[in-house]
Chains A and B, each alone.
Chain A
Amino acid sequence: MWLKRLSTDRIARSFAPDDAVVVVAPIKSALRLTALNDAAARLGLNVGMALADARAMHPRIKAADADPAADRQWVEAIADWCDRYTPLVGLHPPDGLILDISGCAHLFGGEAALAGDLVQRLSRHGVQARAAVADTVGCAWAMARFGDASARTIVPPGVAREAIASLPVASLRLAPDVVTLLSQVGLKRVADILDRPRAALAARFGTGLILRLDQALGCDEESITPRRPLPSYVAEQRFADPIALERDVLGTIQRLGARLARTLEQHGEGARLVEVVLFRVDGKVLRLAAATSRAIRDAALVRRLFAERLTALGDAHDPGFGYDMIRLSIVVAEPLGPKQTGFAAPDRGEELFALIDRIGARVGMRCVLRIVPHDTHIPEFAAVEVQAADDRRRTTDDGDSSSVLCRPSSVLRPITLFTRPEPIEAVAEVPDGPPVRFRWRHVLHEVAAAEGPERLAMEWWRDESGSALTRDYFRIESREGARFWLYREGLYERETPAPRWFLHGLFA
Chain B
Amino acid sequence: MRTSGAAGALSALKREVATIEGTQASLEDGPSAQPFGIDGIDAALNGGLIRGALHEFGPAGAIHLGATFGFALALGSRALAAHRRHVFWIETTFAAAETGRPYGIGLDDFGLPARHLLIVRVPRPIDVLWVMEEALSCRAIAAVIGALTDDVGLNVTRRLSLAARASGGLGLMVRHRSSPMPSAAVTRWQIAAAPSRLDADGGVGHAAFDLSLVKNRHGRCGRWTILWDPHERAFRDPALSVGVAQAAFDRSDRPFLRAG
Contact of A416 with B63 in the complex, beta carbons under 8 Å: no
Taking a contact as CB atoms closer than 8 A, the residue among B63, B74, B115 that contacts A482 in the complex is B63
Query: Which residue, of A385, A408, A434, A480, has the highest number of chain B Cβ atoms within 10 A?
Result: A480
**Chain A 243-258 interface mask (CB, 8 Å, partner B; 1/0):** 0000000000000000
A362 and B118 in contact, given A451-B204, A483-B66 (Cβ under 8 angstroms): no
**Chain B 109-139 interface mask (CB, 8 Å, partner A; 1/0):** 1100111011111110001001100110011
Taking a contact as CB atoms closer than 8 A, the residue among A359, A397, A412 that contacts B120 in the complex is A359
Contact of B204 with A481 in the complex, beta carbons under 8 Å: no
Interface positions of B from 141 to 198, Cβ below 8 Å from A:
141, 192-196, 198
Question: Which of A2-10, A51-59, A335-343, A346-354 lines the interface with chain B?
Answer: A346-354
The answer to whether the Cβ of A388 comes within 8 Å of any Cβ in the partner chain is yes
The answer to whether the Cβ of A358 comes within 8 Å of any Cβ in the partner chain is yes
Taking chain B's interface residues, is the majority helix, strand, or loop, or is none over half, making it mixed?
mixed
Q: How far is the CB of A347 from chain B (nearest CB, A)?
A: 9
Contact of B109 with A413 in the complex, beta carbons under 8 Å: yes
Taking a contact as CB atoms closer than 8 A, the residue among A388, A416, A434 that contacts B118 in the complex is A388
Q: Which residue of B lies closest to A420 (CB)?
A: B97
Contact of B202 with A449 in the complex, beta carbons under 8 Å: yes
Q: In the complex, how many residues of chain A place their beta carbon closer than 8 angstroms to a beta carbon of chain B?
A: 67
Query: Which residue, of B67, B83, B134, B228, has the highest number of chain A Cβ atoms within 10 A?
Result: B67
Contact of A508 with B66 in the complex, beta carbons under 8 Å: yes
Contacts of B131 in A (CB 8 A): 359, 362-363
Taking a contact as CB atoms closer than 8 A, the residue among B66, B74, B251 that contacts A507 in the complex is B66
The answer to whether the Cβ of A110 comes within 8 Å of any Cβ in the partner chain is no
The answer to whether the Cβ of B73 comes within 8 Å of any Cβ in the partner chain is yes
Alpha-carbon distance between A484 and B101 when the two chains are bound, in angstroms: 14
Alpha-carbon distance between A479 and B194 when the two chains are bound, in angstroms: 9
Taking a contact as CB atoms closer than 8 A, the residue among B73, B84, B119, B204 that contacts A371 in the complex is B119
Contacts of A410 in B (CB 8 A): 203, 246, 249, 251
Q: How far is the CB of B132 from chain A (nearest CB, A)?
A: 11
The answer to whether the Cβ of A150 comes within 8 Å of any Cβ in the partner chain is no
Alpha-carbon distance between A409 and B134 when the two chains are bound, in angstroms: 37
The answer to whether the Cβ of A395 comes within 8 Å of any Cβ in the partner chain is yes
A370 and B195 in contact, given A416-B106, A483-B204 (Cβ under 8 angstroms): no
Question: Which of B11-19, B233-241, B252-260 lines the interface with chain A?
Answer: B252-260
Contact of A385 with B119 in the complex, beta carbons under 8 Å: yes
Contact of A382 with B105 in the complex, beta carbons under 8 Å: yes
Contact of A414 with B106 in the complex, beta carbons under 8 Å: yes
Query: Which residue, of B63, B134, B258, has the highest number of chain A Cβ atoms within 10 A?
Result: B63
Alpha-carbon distance between A451 and B192 when the two chains are bound, in angstroms: 21
Q: How far is the CB of B69 from chain A (nearest CB, A)?
A: 7
Taking a contact as CB atoms closer than 8 A, the residue among B85, B196, B203, B258 that contacts A398 in the complex is B85
Contact of B202 with A415 in the complex, beta carbons under 8 Å: no
Closest A-B pairs by Cβ, 3 of them:
A508-B70, A506-B66, A383-B104
Give me 25 A-to-B residue pairs in the complex whose CB atoms sit less than 8 angstroms apart, sorted by A's number.
A346-B139, A349-B140, A352-B141, A355-B134, A359-B120, A363-B120, A370-B119, A372-B104, A409-B247, A410-B246, A412-B106, A415-B66, A415-B69, A415-B70, A415-B102, A416-B101, A417-B106, A433-B255, A448-B195, A450-B257, A452-B254, A480-B61, A480-B193, A505-B100, A508-B69
- Interfacial residues, chain A to chain B (CB-CB below 8 A): 346, 348-349, 351-352, 355-356, 358-359, 362-363, 367-373, 379, 382-383, 385, 388, 394-398, 401, 403, 408-410, 412-419, 432-434, 443, 445, 447-453, 475-484, 505-508
- Interfacial residues, chain B to chain A (CB-CB below 8 A): 61-67, 69-71, 73-74, 83-86, 96-97, 99-110, 113-115, 117-123, 127, 130-131, 134-135, 138-141, 192-196, 198, 202-204, 207-210, 228, 246-247, 249, 251, 254-260
Beyond A414-B100, A508-B209, 10 additional pairs, beta carbon < 8 A: A355-B140, A363-B123, A368-B120, A371-B107, A415-B73, A450-B204, A477-B196, A506-B69, A508-B66, A508-B74
